[in-house]
Amino acid sequence: MNLQSLARRVRSEWRAPASAGRGVLDAAVRFIVEVSPYSSSLAIARTLLALSTLLTVLLTPSAALFIGSPDNPDGVVCDAATARWSLFCMAGGATPMTMTLVIVVMVAVLSGYLPAVTAVPHWWVAWSLNIGSPIRDGGDQVAAVLTLLLVPLLLLDRRRSHWSPDRRWSARPWGVRGVAWGVLVIVWVQASVLYANAAIAKFAVAEWANGTALWYWIQEPSFRPPAAFLWLARVAQDALAGAVIVNYGVLALELLAAALLFVRPGVRRVALPILIAFHISIGVMFGLWSFFLSMAALLVLYLRVPRNDRMDA
């Protein structure tokens, strides 16, 4: 079935009544047929996710990642019903062999080779760290969810490396192409919902609603910015106008990120460096670098829509 007959069939089944509707449908069908979701965006996102987990394990002592207690001496949380299947619960703690396995899996993902083979191990390690560590943060949670969402997409990947161009996309079955693009759209929806929830939930907190939340955060020793940047944070927050602008600026950026689901891919690409800079500032000020890497991976998939030279994607 050629492209024209496929478009006619889909149009007739959807019964698009208007020429504008038929034009949109034709463009959507052509896009799915011609543009592969197995692009450099996917490779960049996987690299960032693997770096997030790898650097967390390499730069954080195991005793700090898995803080022991009288009731839980090895520090691994295995209370959830599914936790028994996590790497650290099955291994009986964060043993040297377990941590070595984590490093090996992340290095394999970073290499880019055989993405269909490394997809499930990548998710399993990210999920195990998120569910097993008592001090997991937002970066661990995003990595666990995003690697899971990418599993169906990557299992259908027939490339030797995720950095290689997908030269066989046009020969893939229509069902495979639909599933692959469906997974990517789900990731977009998840990103939009995540940012919308982050913004809306803040409005229910009095300190965010009145514009003072970040002022309180910089007073907390655990999250206080480095000395080199503390003066800047205090200058911005000590004046009422500065505190209000910074606090409501965060909310505005999060609402903007949520709304990007509904705009053209070209607009999304313009917004990408702005939101990356936003998350870099969070990393610099509060030291949440694993969170930055995971969110950067999500933003690359969300805003860097795949395209080719023959189409204005």
| Banded model confidence at residue 15, pLDDT cuts 50, 70, 90 | very low
Mean of the pLDDT values across residues 130-138?
A: 86
% of the chain surpassing 70 pLDDT: 82
Burial of 22-34, coded b for 16+ CB within 10 Å and e otherwise, reads beeebeebbbbbb
254 or 67, greater pLDDT: 254
pLDDT of residue 24: 59
Residue located via tokens 């936003």:
278
68-82 residue pLDDT tens: 777 777 778 888 888
Give me the chain's average pLDDT, please: 84
The residue extents of the domains of the chain are: 3-32, 35-303
90-129 residue pLDDT tens: 888 888 899 999 999 999 999 999 999 999 999 999 999 9
Mean of the pLDDT values across residues 142-167?
A: 95
pLDDT surpasses 80 at 11: no
pLDDT of residue 292: 95
- Measured CA to CA, the distance from residue 33 to residue 174 in angstroms comes to 8
pLDDT of residue 212: 77
How far from the centroid of its chain's Cα atoms is residue 195's Cα? 11
Mean of the pLDDT values across residues 25-46?
A: 84
116 or 203, greater pLDDT: 116
DSSP of the chain: --HHHHHHHHHHHHT--SHHHHHHHHHHHHHHHH--S-SHHHHHHHHHHHHHHHHHHHHS-HHHHS--BTTBTT-----STTGGGSHHHHTTSS-HHHHHHHHHHHHHHHH-B-HHHHHHHHHHHHHHHHHH-TT--HHHHHHHHHHHHHHHHHHT---SBTTS--TTGGGS-HHHHHHHHHHHHHHHHHHHHHHHHHHHHHHTSHHHHTT-HHHHHHHSTTTPPPHHHHHHHHHHHHSHHHHHHHHHHHHHHHHHHHHGGGS-HHHHHHHHHHHHHHHHHHHHHH--HHHHHHHHHHHHHHHS----TTS--
- Out of 20-29, 38-47, 303-312, least confident range: 20-29
pLDDT surpasses 60 at 2: no
CB-CB contact of 237 with 231 (8 Å): no
pLDDT of residue 14: 42
Q: Is 97 exposed, middle or buried (0-12, 13-18, 19+ CB in 10 A)?
A: exposed
Mean of the pLDDT values across residues 289-308?
A: 92
pLDDT of residue 293: 96
pLDDT of residue 13: 43
pLDDT surpasses 50 at 309: no
User: Which tokens in the block code for residue 36?
Assistant: 């592969």
CB-CB contact of 249 with 278 (8 Å): no
* Residue 158 burial (CB count, 10 A): 13
- Measured CA to CA, the distance from residue 122 to residue 134 in angstroms comes to 20
pLDDT surpasses 70 at 313: no
